[in-house]
Amino acid sequence: MSFAISCNENSPYVYVACNEIHPTRDSTLAIRIINNGPNVALGPAGPGTIHDSTRNFLTVHPNGHTLVELGNIGALDFLSPDNGLVAAAPTSSLDNTVSGIYLDNGLLFCTMREERNFLKLFKNLDIDVNSKITYDDYKEIPSYKGQDKIRTSLTQKYIGVTIQATDHPTGGLQIYDVDRGTSRFVELTSIGDLAFFSDTKAYVGGSTSVQPIDLTSARPLNPITIGTTYFKVKNVISGYSNQS
């Protein structure tokens, strides 16, 4: 069963994550955009690879040919426009990741599993045709346990990560300034989906409302009540032109 999808304007493929009947592994399919085929079955990254079907664990390098598969066992796939899957390799660098986003400047941000309180940040994590994995830089960004959704603003100035209430009593939104390398945290009582409208405002879905966030001051604005007991907010979408 397919549950997540990712693409990139420089890639000839759309990538689809699938849950398999097999209880200990999942797989990914690459669909050629031109004529919707032929398809390339990437297969499982390795024994024991299990996808988190509540999040989109796929993201594509801005060069378009490298697919990043996050998860308990992370992997990189090199796909050629002409020859399909050329090389694939698991890497321990991506172990215990959940979801991620690759920016146009080559920065890859990865959220972690519930018990970990940091984000992984790579610069130009890539794989070549010979399965050689390289990256220019790596560091860990302090965060919180319970990381959930990850999004970037339209100009990619900010990274936003929603935090479910775990070690932090209320949960909220972590706002990371990409240029400055600094974080701010906005406490929220109800955490759902996340969308950036611009570099000045973000929206976080709650149970029965949507919470605007002023990114300049890192403060919540007046909530927009739109739900009832029988009608709850599920997704918030705004301008996802270059996101998974």
One digit per residue, the tens of pLDDT, for the chain of length 244 reads 556 778 888 888 888 877 665 555 667 778 887 776 667 767 554 555 556 666 778 899 999 889 998 888 888 989 887 777 888 888 999 988 999 999 999 999 999 988 899 999 999 999 999 999 999 999 999 999 999 999 999 899 999 999 998 877 788 999 999 999 999 999 998 888 899 988 999 999 887 888 999 999 999 999 888 866 666 777 777 765 555 4
pTM for the model: 0.87
Residue 5's CB is within 10 A of a number of other CB atoms, namely 14
Residue 97 in tokens? 């990741």
Task: Dump strand ranges (E) for 124-208.
Answer: 126-127, 133-134, 137-142, 147-152, 158-163, 172-177, 182-187, 194-196, 201-205
Q: Give 70's DSSP letter.
A: -
Task: Give the pLDDT confidence score for residue 72 in this predicted structure.
Answer: 80
**Closest to 74 (Cα-Cα) out of 56, 58, 94, 49:** 94
Q: Give 93's DSSP letter.
A: G
Q: CB-side exposure of 167: number of CA atoms within 13 Å?
A: 10
What is the gyration radius of the CA atoms in the chain, in angstroms?
18
Task: Give the pLDDT confidence score for residue 48 in this predicted structure.
Answer: 53
Task: Give the pLDDT confidence score for residue 52 in this predicted structure.
Answer: 61
Q: Which residue has the tokens 């990256």?
A: 135
Whether the Cβ atoms of residue 16 and residue 31 lie closer than 8 Å to each other: yes
